[in-house]
Structure 1
Amino acid sequence: MGCGSGDRPEPSPATVRSTAPSKPFGAPDLGAAEEIAHGIEVPWGLVFLPDGNALVAERDSGRILRIGPGHVPEQAYRVPGIVASGEGGLLGLALSPQYAENHYIYAYFTAESDNRIARFRLDGPPEVLFEGIAKSADHNGGRIAFGPDGMLYAGTGDAGQSGRSQDPASPNGKILRLTPEGRPAQGNPTEGSPMYSLGHRNVQGLAWDRAGRLFAAEFGQNRFDEINLIEPGHNYGWPAVEGAGGADRGFTEPLVTWSTSEASPSGIAIAGDTLYAAALQGQRLWTVPLRDGAVGQPRDVLRASYGRLRTVAVAPDGALWLTTSNTDGRGDPQPNDDRVLRFPAR
């Protein structure tokens, strides 16, 4: 593994922009879908620009499209060096907390030899910040997001070799916590290590609640998918345990489990006191009430309405955006797939 050697200081809390909407909104109206874009090839990462538009990553092409209500998607950037195979390609996107000043966009992608994280401006070449995350046809992880602390978090997968998840020296099967320059962040459980948590199979969803607690979505193997409350240094059990039942061995229990046929959760987002999880194999959106770090009874909506669901995100105006993933080789594409949908806040 490797990380960049930039010399910019870590941001102080006073300069960090919150990743959540700045004021409370009503709940997203899940019965009022608006199609923002269609004909997108395997949309994966999604971030919102200050002008109200969004950037969406196409996994296989390496293109980043600018999308928004009322206009045709247009290419804003193409990430070079993408090697798309299986579940690999151009995956998560994140916007710098200081985007208004530095215009940096971050991307997690699969290259020739590994998965890596780079940053770039839309008018310049990418700068690789972190590399050496093992790749494979499956379990590449790929979600990245800036936390309320201004640090960059990355969910990785075990890349098909489950032993990596329990190896502290491997970046695979982990949630990583990095500075904006790609270095291990100060305050990580092990000084000088990017590892924030371990024992993960394939993390593709990261989201924070209003109290600053981090939640993550976890792909199971054959039995159970999970939503976990992430604590620094905690071990979430893979491959020793899938789902619940590992507490007596020192593993942290999941908050929610589903059968893999019901979920296969990728992106997650939190609006108010509800966590939303986009389900691929389950072809539905799960809503999970949050109660002081615990959860209420999950409820599924939009079942089989739009096919496989990959990414869910809360826009600055409180609307919920959702991407389908029917052109990823495992779905049943319908006319206009793949689509980006918007559900306004009421």
Structure 2
Amino acid sequence: MPHTVNGTPESGLRSIAVSPDWSHDHHIYVYHATAEGNRIARMTYDGSTLSGYETLVTGIKKGGKNGGRIKFGPDGYLYATTGDAWTPGDAQDKNSLNGKILRMTTDGKPAPGNPFGTLVYSYGHRNPQGLTWDEQGRLWETEIGEHAYDEVNLIKPGRNYGWPTCEGACSVAGMTNPKHQWRPAEAVPSGLTYADGALYIAALRGQRLWRIPVTGTTLGTPVAHYVNTYGRMRLAEKVPGEDKLWITTDKAGKDADRVLQVDLG
């Protein structure tokens, strides 16, 4: 892919999203590493070839913690997670694109209604990962902490999610606490999807799939599945039109990673 830097830790292609107007525009969106930093770009796929590379967003620093998930929301706008790239103070700087959840039009411009009139939708994130929306359109996010806690957050526009002042729940005024937190040994959460009235969360270090029931804005008791069965789990997605999930594994070894399909219920 044009401009992509590979061969270093956490480099290369980070995420991919398909246009919500695919039948008309055939656009593919990517978040990837380049020589100067992380970038969001758009291309067109004709069934066999990607072409028409177009840069949409630059100025996202790259480093050890990059975030990197992109996903279209039910509102038709593109959301992106960005890590602090080893510069924790950027997460609190609303003029920085790092340590944020971004929300943009299909052309990479700030989406109407963004709280600060910029791409920034929420801030105070360390290494935000999965994004999903429940049946009421509420946005949920998974986040990898530093040493103490990983998180599940209910994202609202303009909110400050605490990093680096807080890792996990705290009592600091102006900070929004997570809806659930784990010790890293159980989680290091990555991909996230909503299905069957629950959040499904792929865990890297925890090597399991978490299911957490959702009732309004409250999360129920998490239940772990496939613990240490398939290794590190990177992505969880609902299979369109079916009561099934797709799950991908991560760093299982040469030619050993898999896409798993599992039944819900």
Q: TM-score range by the shorter chain?
A: over 0.9
Matched residue SS, 1:249? coil
Partners of 2:160 and 2:98 lie apart in 1 by 13
| Residue in structure 2 matching 1:341, options 250, 260, 264 | 260
| Residue in structure 2 matching 1:237, options 162, 172, 178 | 162
Partners of 1:265 and 1:236 lie apart in 2 by 17
Partners of 2:263 and 2:207 lie apart in 1 by 21
Quote the sequence identity (%): 47
* Correspondence 1:183 to 2:109: yes
Name the structure 2 match of 1:111: 34
Asked whether the 8 Å contact 2:83–2:100 carries over to 1, the reply is yes
Please tell me the residue identity of whatever aligns with 2:55: V
Please tell me the residue identity of whatever aligns with 1:133: I
* Correspondence 1:285 to 2:209: yes
Name the structure 1 match of 2:9: 86
Q: CA deviation at 1:326?
A: 1.6
Matched residue SS, 1:128? strand
List alignment gaps of at least 5 residues for structure 2.
Answer: none
1:120-159 map, 5 Å:
120-122=43-45, 123=49, 124-136=51-63, 138-159=64-85
| CA displacement, residues 170-196 of structure 1 (integer Å, 9 cap, x when unaligned) | 0000000000000011100012x1000
Partners of 2:56 and 2:18 lie apart in 1 by 15
Partners of 2:191 and 2:11 lie apart in 1 by 16
Output the TM-score relative to the length of structure 1.
Answer: 0.73
Name the structure 2 match of 1:268: 192
Asked whether the 8 Å contact 1:214–1:229 carries over to 2, the reply is yes
Partners of 1:266 and 1:320 lie apart in 2 by 15
1:38-77 map, 5 Å:
none
Q: CA deviation at 1:125?
A: 3.0
Partners of 1:100 and 1:344 lie apart in 2 by 29
Runs of 4+ in 1 over 4 A off after TM superposition: none
Name the Cα RMSD after superposition.
1.2
Partners of 1:125 and 1:186 lie apart in 2 by 26
Please tell me the residue identity of whatever aligns with 1:83: V
| Residue in structure 2 matching 1:257, options 181, 185, 191 | 181
Partners of 2:182 and 2:256 lie apart in 1 by 27
Partners of 1:345 and 1:274 lie apart in 2 by 11
Please tell me the residue identity of whatever aligns with 1:282: G
* Correspondence 1:223 to 2:142: no
Per mean C-alpha deviation after superposition, the further-off stretch among 111-120 and 335-344 is 335-344
1:158-177 map, 5 Å:
158-177=84-103
Cα pair distance change 1:345/1:261, threshold 3 Å: closer
Partners of 2:255 and 2:41 lie apart in 1 by 31
Please tell me the residue identity of whatever aligns with 1:179: T
Asked whether the 8 Å contact 1:317–1:345 carries over to 2, the reply is no
Per mean C-alpha deviation after superposition, the further-off stretch among 118-127 and 286-295 is 118-127
Larger RCO (CA within 8 A; separation ≥ 6): 1
Output the TM-score relative to the length of structure 2.
Answer: 0.95
